[in-house]
Structure 1
Amino acid sequence: MIPFPDAAETTARETPPAARQVQVLAQLRELRAEVQAEGAGILAGWETRIRRSGFRERALNLAHYIVLRRRELRPLQEELMLLGLSSMGRLEGRVLPSLDAVTAALAAIVRDPHPEPFPPATEMIQGRELTRINAEIALGPAAGPRRVRLMVTLPLEVADSATLAAELLDSGADLVRINCAHGEPELWLAMIGNVRRAAREAQRDVRILMDLAGPKCRTSAVRVAKGHKRLRVGDELLLLKSGFAPAEQFPAQAQCTLPSVFESLGCGAPVWLDEGRVGGSVTAVLEEGALVQVETAPPRGLRLKPDKGLNFPGTDLGVPALTEKDLADLDFVAREADLVGYSFVQDAADIARLQDELDARVGAVRAQRIGIVAKIETARAVRNLPEIIVQGAGRQPFAVMIARGDLGVEIGFARLAEIQEEILWLCEAAHVPVIWATGVLHGLIKDGQASRGEMTDAAMSARAECVMLNKGPHVVEALRCLDGLFVRMGEHLEKKTPRLRALKSW
Structure 2
Amino acid sequence: MADQLRRTKILATLGPATDQPGRIEALIRAGVNVVRMNFSHGTPEQHAARADAVRAAARTLGVEVGILADLQGPKIRIERFAEGRVALCAGQPFALHCRPDPAPGDAQGVGVSYLGLVGDVGPGDTLLLDDGLVSLQVEAIDGSTIHTRVINDGVLSDRKGLNRLGGGLSLGALSDKDRADIGHAAALDADFLAISFCRSAADIEEARALAAEAGWRPHLVAKIERAEAIENLTEITLASDAVMVARGDLGVEIGDAELPGLQKKIIREALRHNRVVITATQMLQSMVDNPIPTRAEVLDVANAV
CA deviations 1:149-198 (Å, max 9, x no partner) are 1100001344x544111011111111000000111111111100100000
Give the superposition deviation at 1:288.
4.1
The equivalent residue for 1:116 is none
Q: Is this contact kept in 1: 2:193–2:220, CA < 8 A?
A: yes
The one-letter amino acid of 2:219's match is G
Separation in 2, partners of 1:243, 1:436: 37
The equivalent residue for 1:475 is none
Distance 1:263 1:447, change over 3 A: farther
Q: Is 1:458–2:301 an aligned residue pair?
A: yes
SS in 1 for 2:79: strand
Give the superposition deviation at 1:447.
4.9
Higher normalized strand content (fraction of residues): 2
Alpha carbon RMSD of aligned pairs, Å? 2.3
Q: Is this contact kept in 2: 1:217–1:256, CA < 8 A?
A: yes
Q: Is this contact kept in 2: 1:143–1:149, CA < 8 A?
A: no
Separation in 2, partners of 1:340, 1:320: 17
CA deviations 1:475-495 (Å, max 9, x no partner) are xxxxxxxxxxxxxxxxxxxxx
Q: Provide the identity percentage.
A: 33
The equivalent residue for 1:179 is 38
CA deviations 1:403-441 (Å, max 9, x no partner) are 001111111111111111111111111111110000111
Counterpart selection for 2:86 from 223, 229, 244: 229
Give the superposition deviation at 1:236.
2.6
Q: Is this contact kept in 1: 2:58–2:65, CA < 8 A?
A: yes
Q: Is 1:217–2:70 an aligned residue pair?
A: no
The equivalent residue for 2:203 is 350
Q: Is this contact kept in 2: 1:347–1:388, CA < 8 A?
A: yes
Higher normalized helix content (fraction of residues): 1
The one-letter amino acid of 1:411's match is I
The equivalent residue for 2:148 is 292
Give the superposition deviation at 1:270.
1.6
**How many residue pairs are counted as aligned between the two chains?**
302
SS in 1 for 2:143: coil
Give the superposition deviation at 1:143.
3.9
Q: Is 1:321–2:177 an aligned residue pair?
A: no
Q: Is this contact kept in 1: 2:71–2:194, CA < 8 A?
A: yes
Q: Is 1:372–2:220 an aligned residue pair?
A: yes
Q: Is 1:156–2:16 an aligned residue pair?
A: yes
CA deviations 1:223-266 (Å, max 9, x no partner) are 579xx93223223322222424996xxx3322222222222221
Q: Is this contact kept in 1: 2:118–2:144, CA < 8 A?
A: no
The equivalent residue for 2:96 is 239
Give the TM-score, by structure 2 length.
0.91
Q: Identify which range, 264-273 or 279-288, moves more after superposition.
A: 279-288
Separation in 1, partners of 2:209, 2:289: 39
Q: Is 1:389–2:232 an aligned residue pair?
A: no
CA deviations 1:296-335 (Å, max 9, x no partner) are x3xxx32110121110134533222111111111112123
The equivalent residue for 1:417 is 260
Give the superposition deviation at 1:278.
1.9
Distance 1:424 1:257, change over 3 A: same
Give the TM-score, by structure 1 length.
0.56
Q: Is this contact kept in 2: 1:142–1:149, CA < 8 A?
A: no
Distance 1:447 1:304, change over 3 A: farther
Distance 1:288 1:148, change over 3 A: same
Separation in 1, partners of 2:289, 2:105: 38
Give the superposition deviation at 1:343.
0.2
Separation in 2, partners of 1:155, 1:142: 30
Q: Is this contact kept in 2: 1:224–1:253, CA < 8 A?
A: no
The equivalent residue for 1:204 is 63
CA deviations 1:278-305 (Å, max 9, x no partner) are 223211112342122222x3xxx32110
Separation in 1, partners of 2:119, 2:91: 25
Separation in 2, partners of 1:444, 1:245: 36
The equivalent residue for 1:147 is 7
SS in 1 for 2:95: strand
SS in 2 for 1:210: strand
